[in-house]
Structures are given as C-alpha cells and as structure tokens.
Amino acid sequence: MSDMSRIKTFNLPDLGEGLTEGEILAWLVKVGDTIELNQPIVEVETAKAAVEIPAKWAGQVQAIHHPEGTTVEVGTPIIAIDTDPGAGPLEAPSTTATPSGDLPTPSAASLAAVEVAPAEGMIEPGLIGGAAPGGRTAVLVGYGPRTTAAKRRPRKGGVPAQAVAASAPAAPAPQPVVVPVAAPARDGQAASATGGVLAKPPVRKLAKDLGVDLGTLTGSGPLGSITREDVQRAANGASAVVAEPIAATTAPSFGADREQRIPVKGVRKLTAENMSRSAFTAPHVTEFLTVDVTRAMKALDRLRGRREWRDVRVSPLLLVAKAVLLAVQRHPMVNSTWAGDEIVVKEYVNLGIAAATERGLIVPNVKDAGRLSLRELADALTDLVQTAKSGRTSPAAMSGGTLTITNVGVFGVDTGTPILPPGESAILAFGAVREMPWVHKGKVKVRQVTTLGLSFDHRIIDGELGSKFLRDIGDFLTDPEAALLAWT
C-alpha cells in the first residue's frame, strides 16, 4: 500500500436531517493516538444536540484539521488517519525544486490517492460514508453532506488556529494541517466537554449503557480518571464520590461599554429560527383552563404506594401526558400538520416534552406514546428527561414530534402562551400545582389547583375543537379514575 493511500481523510458527516454544520466541542483523541474502528473520536454540537462521532477506520491519528470551538460545515475534512501504521513511517514529501525554481506539481494520480481507494477502506452500503439508496452518501442521520470550506468562529481569549507540523511525518499533498487541540490524558483517556471528565472510550460506553452520568462522578484512576469500577459502583447504587454540579449559568462578562455580546449558535439559534417561523406562519390561538387536580394528586400518591411502582418516578407530568394522549384519541384532528394544500392527520403520537438544558430549549419526544402503557410511559418520560439533562439527546429523538407539552410549573409559573413547534398544531402548557381556595361541593375549601394553557394552529383547529380538547384534558385531571372508566 502506498503512503498516500494509507491516509484516509474523515469528513464531518451529516449529523441530523437538515443540519449543515456543527461546532467541535471536544477532541477525544490526539495526533499519534492509535484508534479502533467505531471508537468515538470527537464530540460535535449541532443545532439539535451534542453527538459523539465514531471513527470510520482503525489506525493512527496523523492530523487534526480544526481545533475545539471551530464551526465546521458538513463534508469538511476534520481528521486524517493512517490506516496501516505498522507498514513503517511515512515518507516525507519531496521538496526538490524544478529548474525554474518552483516546487513540483503533484500529479492527478497522487492527489486522487488521498481519497478512499475503492479496494481499500470501502464502507459497506448504508454505513456512515458508504453508498445509500439512490446513489447518495449515507450519513449519521439523513442524507445530504455538503463539501464546502469550514467557517471558523473566533474563540475569545484563545490561541488562533494556526497550522503547525505534526509530530509524525506528513503525507504528500494535499498536506493535512494540524492545529493545537486539547490533548486527552495519558493512556488514551478522553476528556469530556463538560467539566473535564476523564474516561477511556470503553468506560464511556459502559456508562452510557448503564445510564450513569460521568459528570456526577469523581474518578479513582490516574489523574482522577473514571474507571469501570467507578461506573459500576454508581450503577449499583454504591457509595461513590459525587462531583460538585457544574453551574448552569456563568457570571456575565462585560466589556468597557458595559455590554456583553453572546454569539447565537447551536440549540439557541435553531430555537430562535423555529419560533420565529412558527409565530409568523401559524395563526396562534391560546385558551386557558383552571382545574382542581386534588383527586389526581391523591391518585398519584396511591400509585407510588403500590409495590410494582415503588422504583418508578411518578410525577404530575405523567398524568398530564396520559390525559393528552386520551384526549387525542377523542379528537384526532388535534394531532395533525398543515401541509399547504392538505392537512395530514397522524394516527401515531410522538409526544414532545419541552426541556430546558444548559445549551437551551430542546423538545425531545416519546415515539408512538399512545401505544404505551402507563408504566411504559412513566419509564419513557424519565429516560427522556434524564437524557436531556445530561446533554445526550440525539437528533433523532428531537425529530418527528406531533404534539408537545411544556411543563412551566416546575419554574413556579401558573401558565403561559406557548409557541407551536414547527409542524405541530397544538402545544399544552402545564402550570404549577398550588393549594388555593376552591368551591367544592358547595363549600370553599383548600384544594390543589393548576392552570392549563393550550395554544393551537387556528388553520386546523377551530375554537370548538380546541375547547373540547382542553376540556377533556381538564376532565381527566379532575377525576382520572372516572375518565378512564368512561373513555376506555
């Protein structure tokens, strides 16, 4: 194998449908590291989520093209990998000048050799970088990478990204450049983007499989790295050293003009675009309903007391979600999309739950939530919330939502006028549950009360349909047991 055919250039793949760029949050490898096939090599943040990208080839890292903090467009080379490091050192490129004094021009064959040779490194159809149906290039999520130059966002107080020579001899033209990146700890440990957590890739995978957040642990390994034993102890509920939580917000840093300028990017940029498009496209109407939920709260207490539910997270949001799903069965038109010259009514319900994260507002959804039992729904909501809080929600989990709940009550707010997520026709705001004076059976008593706010697309849902849908949700929360007997 020639030197140049050994070098494989890995382009940034499409990380989500419709996404064209991503910001490099953290490199999990450094130049000179030996990596395995499918080993996570870089963490990239898109407009939807933070994603770890696996290596397409095993080998040795020869060059890293962009530093952390760089925004890179889909299709841009980000790393170069020597797929046969055991064949010996790479030959240095010739710099012998021609009689005219110019450096020799690489031949077309030598330039083409840098690409993936058909007989070597070929990716199976359907895998990342391989052939997809219709002759397209398969990517992580969806199709459509673009081969364009990278856009670099200046890093405040950081070192400019300059090309420096790699420690190993570089391959011939096109010459990969190496930029300064934060090197992982020794022994192949990878630094997380949150809090400098150190853990080897197998440990990170184990933590992901067991549902353990590495950011909450203090490792017992070298340099404070997290070991398999640390993860297993945390998963088994044993006493583990818990790290101090990272502050959700940092103190503002003002300049001489006493103003701070915050770049709009990632999740916040996508949220702004979606909300602006929705607010000025779909004619919004919002209705409110105040409900006595005392019986619903007592039903939750009884549910928590049952032996088979003792290890399940039971919250008021669970009953609100169940109420919405049952109300959709009674009013299917609410679960629909405006498609220009037609309305698409969906039998399935991908129930979105708005979640506030450190990166901004995201709306992951529970797929086909209407088919889940109450216990399955509780588990799905718990997993959704925990994944969102850890910053590991995938783009696929945030795609395809059909109807959304936003739980503003967790912030002590009574209700709101939520804006529809694009492509959805209804969103419910669930307010705080408070003890308030309420007329009950002809007497004023202290009851547990909440206020619901339903925003809907008036092109699809008229006032009567929206009112009936909201009323049914309120009826279920007023007396869930009676509603279940009457509706199912």
Active site residues: 458
Residue 432 tokens, joined:
């705080």
Rounded Cα–Cα distance for residues 410 and 355 (Å): 11
Q: Is 175 exposed, middle or buried (0-12, 13-18, 19+ CB in 10 A)?
A: middle
Residue with tokens 């009550």: 409
Residue 164 tokens, joined:
């420096």
Rounded Cα–Cα distance for residues 326 and 332 (Å): 10
Residue 456 tokens, joined:
């809907």
SS (H, E, C) the chain: CCHHHHEEEEECCCCCCCCCEEEEEEECCCCCCEECCCCEEEEEECCCCEEEEECCCCEEEEEECCCCCCEEECCCEEEEEECCHHHCCCCCCCCCCCCCCCCCCCCHHHHHCCCCCCCCCCCCCCCCCCECHHHCEECCCCECCCCCCCECCCCCCCCCCCCECCCCCCCCCCCCCECCCCCCCCCCCEECCCCCCEECHHHHHHHHHHCCCHHHECCCCHHHCECHHHHHHHHCCCCCCECCCCCCCCCCCCCCCCCCCCCCCHHHHHHHHHHHHHHCCCCEEEEEEEEECHHHHHHHHHHHHCHHHCCCCCCHHHHHHHHHHHHHHHCHHHCEEECCCCEEECCCCCEEECEEECCEEECCEECCHHHCCHHHHHHHHHHHHHHHHCCCCCHHHHCCCCEEEECHHHHCCCCCCCCCCCCCCEEEEECCCEEEEEEECCEEEEEEEEEEEEEEECCCCCHHHHHHHHHHHHHHHHCHHHHHHHHC
